[in-house]
Structure 1
Amino acid sequence: MGILIKELRIRNYKCYESLDVELNETSLLLGANNAGKTSLLEALELSFTRYKRISEELIFIKKDEVLNKDKEIIIDVLILPNEESFDEEWFNLFGKLIFEDDEKDRIALRTIIKYNQIKGEYDLEHKAMTEWPDSNDVLTFNDYNSQRVTSNILEAIPVFYLDAKRDITTEMGDKYSYWGKLVKDINLLPKDVEEIEKALNDINNDLVKNSEVLEHLSSSLNKITDVVDSEKRSVEINPVSRKIRDLNKGMEIRFNDKDSESFSIANQGMGTRSWATFLTLSAYIDWKLLEMKREEKPFHPLLLLEEPEAHLHPQAQRKIYSQMQKLVGQKLISTHSSIIAAQADLSSIIHVYKNGCSSSINNIAIEKLKSEEIRKIKEEVLKTRGDVLFADTLILCEGETEDQVLPIFFKEFFENEPFELGVNIISVGGFGNYKPFMTVARDLDIDVFILSDGERNVIKAVEKAFSNIFEGIENYKVDERVKFLPDHADFEKYLLKDGYRQEIVETIDEINETKNFINTYIEKQQSRRGKRVETADTCQTCHQHIYSEQTMDYSGEEGFDKALLDWLSKNKTEYSSLIGNKILERKGADNIPTEIRNLFSQIASIKKYEISKKYRVFDIEEVEQ
């Protein structure tokens, strides 16, 4: 392509008071709704747009700020050559606008939007800067090149914006759409045009002549000459277009699914129609590239794609991302799809989020990560739990039981589902797997809380990983963000110690449709003690079944709890959520286990979440005691 738009700076545009963002050949914008993704796309579009009507509503203002007419929008772009110097085509185009920085060619273009007192409206103006100023000096910098930013320069970097509301049926009726631009001149030789139009005339005449209905309608319409003052006028009915230039008005796309009859694209679902619009854009860019090559002109298409996954099922989302990667040009893509995010390079991800009254961005700091750490983030976070990229808060836990019961208790405590507050509750599958999630959360400014098992080795490992990742970050102390279960317990053992044995026993009995299921289980296990029994394992060397002596002792109250825990460990996914619901049947505030309630109280304190009145009263009583 020859060039790359390397950096974009925005000052006072819509939701951005001040933003600096580096761009790659493909950049992916992630973030919640209304975070500022579309505004960032639009700002980049303005950088290469010659004329556009500007409203004062595009100017960023703080709460209670009165807009001053002197306030300006500034959008700067830094353009680099792919090599140290621009190639001949780009060098000839940019000419004296080129400056050197560290012995490398650069172009810095500025778009200024300011109020014109004479016209009483805002003007859009493009200028070339003599250097790329420091970020802090953007608003005061005014050293511009005397050479104008010509139309040829802007046309060499055309912007193709595809918004989320795309529909090929709408595009086909719009002469200014990419479809309309592509088919308005189908590029036939004059000789061919003459022959085809003669054939079209013959077809029209034959259709009218051989159709009694059309002939009757034509005769009736020609009576208009009785009221129009002309003897030479007549009315024609054209079942098909007579002129090549009008063919696009009657064009139709038909979709054939294997052996079925073909149907108009207008009768297809929104997914197919949205994808067809995307493919039309691809065709248009490829065609323009051929034209520019024939004319030996530089060409760097800038593709701004908004939610390309809209209306597409998961497999289609995977396909469309690979198609986007093949498009010629530099791409800036906004998405809500964790599937698309999982396919992207970590270096291409730009996370957009609200930061007070303004929007801001951050990235995963891959330059600080080893290759194995990058692999783990890709495999363990993005590919399986890519929705964390859109979260406001993460609650991490170790096992399956916590993963199932925490959302139940969360809804009870906060009177909202976790997702309603932007919270993701995630089982990382073992205490050694917290690190990738914490790394992503740190770099993307996502709040993190952990409910961890309390074994000594677990506490040591989790505290070390947490301290290393969040070192130097304010309000990230282990005792404020991590809740270790007491008495060196895992979650199931903690529930027993915290007084929920009855709920666990009742749940197991209900699932197995019997009473005293654990007692029966103990009796069976005890009857097998001392017997030589075949296990489910096999020897890896001789492939013979392994025999062992049963030595488990489940006698007494302690043995009962041991049997209970052993049974749960084999059936976690079946029992976990049901146990949580059974515990919630308690009428008091202790229907949420103490340590979980304490964790939620800490989250509410830091995140300013509203909690149920029932638990607010309970917490106050605990503090007073």
Structure 2
Amino acid sequence: MGIIIKEIRIRNFRSYQSADITLSENCVLIGANNVGKTTLLQAIQVAFLRGIRVSEEDIYVELNELLPKSRKAIIDVLIVPVEKNEEGIKEFDEKWFEHIGELRSEDTVTLDQFLAIRTIISYNPLKGEYDIERKALIDWPTTEAAENYNEYKKNRITDKVLQALPVFYMDAKRDISVEMKDRNSYWGKLVRDVGLDSKDIEDIETTLDTINNEIIHKSPILKHLTDNLSKVSRTVSTSDSSIKINPVSRKIKDLNRGIDLTFKDEHSERFPISNHGMGTRSWITFLTVVAYISWKIEQMEKEEVPFHPIMLLEEPEAHLHPQAQRKIFQQINDLSGQKIVSTHSPMIVGQVDINDIRHISKIEGKSNINFINTANLEGKDIRKIKFEILKSRGDLLFANAILLCEGETEEQAIPTFFKEYFHCEAFEAGINIISVGGSGKYKPFLRIAKDLNMKVYILSDGEPKTIKEVRKLVKAVYDEDEIAEISKGIKFLPDGSDFEKYLINAGYAEEISIAMTEILGDGFLEQYISAKGNTSNGSRPTKDKCDTCNQFIYEKSFRDYSNDDGRVQALLDCIHDNKTAYSSIIASTIIYNRQTEKIPPMIEELFIEIENDFKILIQEDEAVNI
């Protein structure tokens, strides 16, 4: 690949008031619905495709603002060579050098060459509509100076220049059975000219004519129909009129009208493609585009013409099962050229290189673009993000916020409390509730939240060591001026408690006993005390030190369940030993059996923070996230 589109800057285009995005060879756009992924792909089309129509709908406008006619949308594209010369300077190869000509520029410091194309969408008062104008920038200004920069090359951006940068766009509604009927589709473009020379065409068309005549002659129905339709010459005022039925196309140029696709697997009959499901039809549409691009690349190579295909693909996972989603993404990566893919699939996200991910979000009506900053991360941190998040929890990348907790009990209980408090599921509010599996495992999740501009909340155990560790991790990820805001959403359980101990201390022991009875049966606590009472509880350090090694002396401890405090401890030990079964029902048991304080106070405090941040409307029957 001789060149690459390195960066795109967008100003005042639809939902993008101001946004910059760096691109890679295989760039993947992620984010919730209606945040600006499709708009970004459309901006790229406006920058490179000829004949696109624009209107005032393409200009960014504030809420309740009257669009000023003087406002312009700008899309700047930076194209750079990939290879360096012997002196370490990036230069366009011979083909691109000649193709770009005087449009190319040179960095005054590094001497690296580049091509910067600006697309301007502005109102034309004479025509009463918006126009598109493309110019080559002399320099690549800083992002702050981009909008007001106005130094351009004298040479025009010609159609010839853009033809070497073709855009191939596929939306999520692709269907090969529809594409086959459209002469302007990629299928239509491929089969329109089958690449035969004139002598072969003449011979084949003679054969096709013979086949048609034989079919009509041997079919009494078609012969009868032909004879009757021939009567048209009696009413049409032309001396040399005639009509023919063509069971098979008589002209090579018309073959595409009658081409059909059939498909079968190992154990089924062959059926027309239109009879198959949308998954198969969508995939074949994609493969048709692949075939078209590879055909064009081959043609351009023969003609020694520079060619950098840009493929824009929306939701390649549409209609495909998980394994097929992984396969189609591999096929996308194998394509020549530059690919920009938008997806909602955690399966695809799990395969993406972490540096290829671009996260799109929308805040107060403005689309923003973020990425995971790996510049200051060690290899082990990158691996943790890759394997603990992208491969196993890729769905959290599409959330508005994440609520982190330490254990399995919290992860299963908090969603139930959330629904009771907000009258909606956490995922409906765009919030993922995640157990990180221990106090030392927050960092990759915090890094993702910071880089992708997500709100983060933490419900942590309250042991002094845990509190210190969590605060240390937050400080390692967030800047000093961010920590105060982040800390509002971090709640530590009081009195050094873990979640189970906190619930008991907060007055929910009776509800916990009801839940445990449902799991273990009546008399579970007495049975547990009988089995575990006075048994070893491990070794604990004393205040005394060894005279020889100066280490604290440990002594064995035993479970004492003999008094009221002992029974409470027995209940706590019992639920710790049965976390797997207990976790799934404790929250619903508390809610069902309590008349007041159905939400534990510390969790309610956390929900109030979420409510303040996201303005979730609390209603009796439903909740709406606004």
TM-score (norm: length of structure 2): 0.91
Partner of 1:600: 607
- Displacement of 1:554: 3.6
Partner of 1:294: 302
Among 517, 522, 539, which residue is 1:515 paired with? 522
Asked if 2 retains the 8 angstrom alpha-carbon contact of 1:303 and 1:331, the reply is yes
Structure 1 CA distance for aligned equivalents of residues 118 and 619 of structure 2:
52
Deviation per CA, 1:551-589, whole angstroms, max 9, x where unpaired? 654433333333333332333232212111110013433
SS at match of 1:207: helix
After TM superposition, the structure 1 = structure 2 runs for residues 517-532 of structure 1, keeping only pairs within 5 Å, are 517-525=524-532
After TM superposition, the structure 1 = structure 2 runs for residues 272-291 of structure 1, keeping only pairs within 5 Å, are 272-291=280-299
Partner of 1:95: 101
Deviation per CA, 1:482-517, whole angstroms, max 9, x where unpaired? 1111121111121112122221222222234x3222
Partner of 1:319: 327
Unpaired runs of 5+ in structure 2? Answer: 84-89, 538-555, 622-626
Partner of 1:562: 569
TM-score (norm: length of structure 1): 0.91
After TM superposition, the structure 1 = structure 2 runs for residues 358-369 of structure 1, keeping only pairs within 5 Å, are 358-369=366-377
Among 84, 89, 92, which residue is 1:86 paired with? 92
Asked if 2 retains the 8 angstrom alpha-carbon contact of 1:109 and 1:127, the reply is yes
Letter of the 2:341 counterpart: I
After TM superposition, the structure 1 = structure 2 runs for residues 428-439 of structure 1, keeping only pairs within 5 Å, are 428-439=436-447
SS at match of 1:450: strand
SS at match of 1:107: strand
Deviation per CA, 1:373-405, whole angstroms, max 9, x where unpaired? 011001111111111111111110011110111
SS at match of 2:382: helix
Root-mean-square deviation (Å):
2.1
Structure 2 CA distance for aligned equivalents of residues 425 and 492 of structure 1:
18
Among 95, 119, 122, which residue is 2:130 paired with? 122
After TM superposition, the structure 1 = structure 2 runs for residues 159-558 of structure 1, keeping only pairs within 5 Å, are 159-230=167-238, 232-474=240-482, 476-477=484-485, 479-512=487-520, 514-525=521-532, 552-558=559-565
SS at match of 2:503: helix
Letter of the 2:613 counterpart: I
Letter of the 1:87 counterpart: D
Partner of 2:616: 609
Structure 2 CA distance for aligned equivalents of residues 25 and 57 of structure 1:
30
Structure 2 CA distance for aligned equivalents of residues 381 and 529 of structure 1:
39
Letter of the 2:502 counterpart: Y
Asked if 2 retains the 8 angstrom alpha-carbon contact of 1:9 and 1:21, the reply is yes
- Displacement of 1:525: 4.1
SS at match of 1:320: helix
Asked if 1 retains the 8 angstrom alpha-carbon contact of 2:11 and 2:74, the reply is yes
Partner of 2:553: none
Asked if 1 retains the 8 angstrom alpha-carbon contact of 2:121 and 2:130, the reply is yes
Query: Taking structure 1 as reference, are residues 380 and 221 closer, same or farther at Cα in structure 2, changes over 3 Å only?
Result: same
Q: Show structure 1 runs of 4+ deviating over 6 A.
A: 527-530
SS at match of 1:174: coil
- Displacement of 1:68: 2.1
- Displacement of 1:312: 1.2
- Displacement of 1:328: 0.6
Asked if 2 retains the 8 angstrom alpha-carbon contact of 1:376 and 1:436, the reply is yes
Asked if 2 retains the 8 angstrom alpha-carbon contact of 1:470 and 1:476, the reply is no
SS at match of 2:307: coil
* Count of residues paired in the alignment: 595
SS at match of 2:603: helix
Deviation per CA, 1:99-156, whole angstroms, max 9, x where unpaired? 2102111111111122222222222111111111222222322211111112111000
SS at match of 1:64: coil
Letter of the 1:98 counterpart: R
Partner of 1:21: 21
Partner of 1:577: 584
Deviation per CA, 1:260-311, whole angstroms, max 9, x where unpaired? 1011111111111111111111110100000001100000011111111111
SS at match of 1:161: strand
After TM superposition, the structure 1 = structure 2 runs for residues 47-62 of structure 1, keeping only pairs within 5 Å, are 47-62=47-62
Letter of the 2:445 counterpart: F
Partner of 1:535: none
Asked if 1 retains the 8 angstrom alpha-carbon contact of 2:511 and 2:593, the reply is no
Deviation per CA, 1:9-48, whole angstroms, max 9, x where unpaired? 1111111111121111111111111111111111111111
SS at match of 2:149: coil
Partner of 1:30: 30
After TM superposition, the structure 1 = structure 2 runs for residues 129-140 of structure 1, keeping only pairs within 5 Å, are 129-140=137-148
Asked if 2 retains the 8 angstrom alpha-carbon contact of 1:51 and 1:124, the reply is no
Deviation per CA, 1:203-252, whole angstroms, max 9, x where unpaired? 21222222222222222222222322345423211111111111111111
Query: Taking structure 1 as reference, are residues 229 and 570 closer, same or farther at Cα in structure 2, changes over 3 Å only?
Result: same
- Displacement of 1:431: 1.1
SS at match of 1:78: strand
Partner of 1:12: 12
Asked if 2 retains the 8 angstrom alpha-carbon contact of 1:393 and 1:423, the reply is yes
Asked if 1 retains the 8 angstrom alpha-carbon contact of 2:456 and 2:486, the reply is no
- Displacement of 1:526: 5.2
Structure 1 CA distance for aligned equivalents of residues 404 and 503 of structure 2:
18
| 1:65 pairs with 2:65 | yes
SS at match of 2:507: coil
Structure 2 CA distance for aligned equivalents of residues 265 and 304 of structure 1:
25
Partner of 2:162: 154
Structure 2 CA distance for aligned equivalents of residues 473 and 178 of structure 1:
52
Structure 2 CA distance for aligned equivalents of residues 486 and 234 of structure 1:
95
Structure 2 CA distance for aligned equivalents of residues 203 and 92 of structure 1:
51
Structure 2 CA distance for aligned equivalents of residues 123 and 158 of structure 1:
21
Unpaired runs of 5+ in structure 1? Answer: 531-548, 615-625
Partner of 2:596: 589
SS at match of 2:528: helix
Deviation per CA, 1:517-549, whole angstroms, max 9, x where unpaired? 22223334459999xxxxxxxxxxxxxxxxxx9
Structure 2 CA distance for aligned equivalents of residues 87 and 529 of structure 1:
76
Letter of the 2:170 counterpart: L
Query: Taking structure 1 as reference, are residues 520 and 62 closer, same or farther at Cα in structure 2, changes over 3 Å only?
Result: same
Asked if 2 retains the 8 angstrom alpha-carbon contact of 1:463 and 1:478, the reply is no
SS at match of 1:133: coil
- Displacement of 1:477: 4.9
Asked if 2 retains the 8 angstrom alpha-carbon contact of 1:393 and 1:448, the reply is yes
After TM superposition, the structure 1 = structure 2 runs for residues 101-112 of structure 1, keeping only pairs within 5 Å, are 101=107, 102-112=110-120
| 1:45 pairs with 2:53 | no
Structure 2 CA distance for aligned equivalents of residues 161 and 606 of structure 1:
37
Query: Taking structure 1 as reference, are residues 440 and 528 closer, same or farther at Cα in structure 2, changes over 3 Å only?
Result: closer
